[in-house]
Amino acid sequence: MPKAADSHSFLPLTEATFFILLSLAPGAKHGYAIMKDVSYMSNGRITFSTGTLYGALKRLLDLGWIERSGEEGSELAETSRSRKEYKLTALGKAVFTSETSRMKELVQLATAANAKEG
Amino acid sequence: MQVIPKKFQQISWRNLVSWIYRVSLSLYPKSYRDRFGTEMNDVFNHALAEHSSQSRLKALSFLGRELRDAPVSILRQHFAANSFWLRPYPINIIAFIFSFILVGLLDYWNTAQTFVGLQGFLINLLSLALAGAISGLAIGILADPQHKNLFAFCGSIGFLLANIYVPQILSRIFPDAFAASGQGMEILLPFLFPIVEGFVFGLFIGLASGRWHNLLQFSGWGSLALFMGFFVNRLSAALLQSFLFHSATQNIAQMGIIGFFMPYLLEGAIMGALFGRIKITKTSLSAKQSSLG
């Protein structure tokens, strides 16, 4: 499993991945809540189908960025068989923070460049 | 007025869509389905209920998105799972390509009458036996490495008998097809050949595995593999002749070596891939009994 220190090696993230991590940043959520959250936060620009959502969640589980209730090694308690919750792991949080910092730097650079031009 | 039974009244379009979605989930690899299937079904039903409570248009847009993404998602998961249907078996594919290039060469020699009389007969015999042995060896290496030589031997005999006796047997059953063109089974016969030949070849390969269950598996897959291989051979030859070489027949002078052998290469590749699908049962009955005892 990659360490939190390696989180920079995964950057930049795709928009869809970033929105999933963003949706899970405040706390654990189940699949349908993530789907709605991402659509709402992106103003309907990113709308997952169930196939793409679970494909992305599986990839993030495999990367160890999120954990799923009821699965081995997860701290989340299983509430129902069909309603699993997803939560960011330490590595997931580190990747999300690194990506946010990277974006912040970009925005700062762009703002400075715009200010000079103005 | 016709009364609609109550159970049919309850079948709404949403129930139908929901049922179709549940069925479509079975197209995902088993491991993925077991892990996420129930949850995906639950999320789909929630989303469908919510969208359809807003408007028909929203429900349609949701379903359109599902329909658009499903094939890619399914295929992606099969690739990720290194699935049964997409697993490459290079050794099988290479061996069958080699064998069928040899068969192509034999077809060329026979057409050009390069070897005649006893010499031609022996060349035919040896080439077919060698092609069968190579294919059988490759299947054996994957299926049961300890007995790979037996697989090669059985493959050689099976391929030889399939290619020599099957045409003779079929010509006796359907004499019209050979007597004059445009009669009886003439059109179907070329497709019947590979099915029966594949069955015979598979039967002999199955014999090497020594299990009845495998025998039936190999015969069935053999028929399918040879049929698919033949179909791809004829289709690719027709396409090459028509669009690339504008040749009236599969003529080596007009199509060149690559053009001539390409259909055989594709045939071998398809057959190698299909034969690689077979999972044989290795545990013998006596071993099972001793483990139970």
Tokens representing B85? 């249907």
C-alpha to C-alpha distance for B214 and B144, rounded to whole angstroms:
12
Question: What pLDDT is attached to residue B277?
Answer: 73
With beta carbons less than 8 A apart as the criterion, state whether B171 and B178 touch: yes
B114 DSSP assignment: -
Give mean pLDDT, residues A98-108: 94
- Identify the three-state secondary structure at position B248: coil
Question: What pLDDT is attached to residue B183?
Answer: 59
**Rounded (10°) angle between helices B212-239 and B189-209:** 140
On the question of pLDDT at B80 being above 70, the answer is yes
Q: How many CB pairs under 8 A join A and B?
A: 53
Place of tokens 């299926």: B143
How far A55 CA lies from chain B's nearest CA (Å)? 7
User: Pick from B43, B66, B77: which is nearest to A55 by CB?
Assistant: B77
pLDDT digits (tens, 9 = 90+) for B125-153: 999 999 999 999 988 888 888 888 999 99
On the question of pLDDT at B233 being above 70, the answer is yes
In this predicted structure, which of A48-57, B222-231, B243-252 has the lowest mean pLDDT? Answer: B243-252
Q: What's the mean pLDDT when you consider all of chain B?
A: 83
Question: What pLDDT is attached to residue B287?
Answer: 45
Residues of A in contact with B78 (CB under 8 A): none
Distances (CA, A) of B258 to B37, B104, B127, B135: 47, 11, 20, 22
User: Pick from B35, B46, B66: which is nearest to A49 by CB?
Assistant: B66
Residues of A in contact with B40 (CB under 8 A): 31, 50-51, 54
Tokens representing B247? 């040749």
Interface touch A31/B39, C-beta < 8 Å: yes
C-alpha to C-alpha distance for B224 and B209, rounded to whole angstroms:
19
On the question of pLDDT at B29 being above 60, the answer is yes
Question: What pLDDT is attached to residue B11?
Answer: 59
In this predicted structure, which of B15-19, B75-79, B203-207 has the lowest mean pLDDT? Answer: B75-79
- Chain A residue with CA closest to B42: the answer is A82
Question: What pLDDT is attached to residue B255?
Answer: 82
Confidence category of residue A75, pLDDT binned at 50, 70, 90? low
Tokens representing B33? 């389905």
Give mean pLDDT, residues A75-86: 71
**Rounded (10°) angle between helices A90-117 and A15-24:** 120
Question: What pLDDT is attached to residue A53?
Answer: 96
pLDDT digits (tens, 9 = 90+) for A81-100: 667 899 999 999 999 999 99
Residues of A in contact with B43 (CB under 8 A): 31-32, 35, 50, 53
Question: What pLDDT is attached to residue B114?
Answer: 83
Q: Which amino acid is at B101?
A: I
Tokens representing B193? 């050949």
Residues of B in contact with A20 (CB under 8 A): none
C-alpha to C-alpha distance for B282 and B213, rounded to whole angstroms:
10
> DSSP letter string over chain A?
---GGGGGGGPSPPHHHHHHHHHHSSS-EEHHHHHHHHHHHTTTSS---HHHHHHHHHHHHHHTSEEETTSTT--SPP--SS--EEEE-HHHHHHHHHHHHHHHHHHHHHHHHHHHH-
pLDDT digits (tens, 9 = 90+) for B140-199: 888 888 888 999 999 999 999 998 888 788 777 777 666 666 555 666 777 788 999 999
Residue B95 neighbours by CB under 8 Å, 6+ apart: B134, B135, B137, B138, B272
C-alpha to C-alpha distance for B194 and B112, rounded to whole angstroms:
23
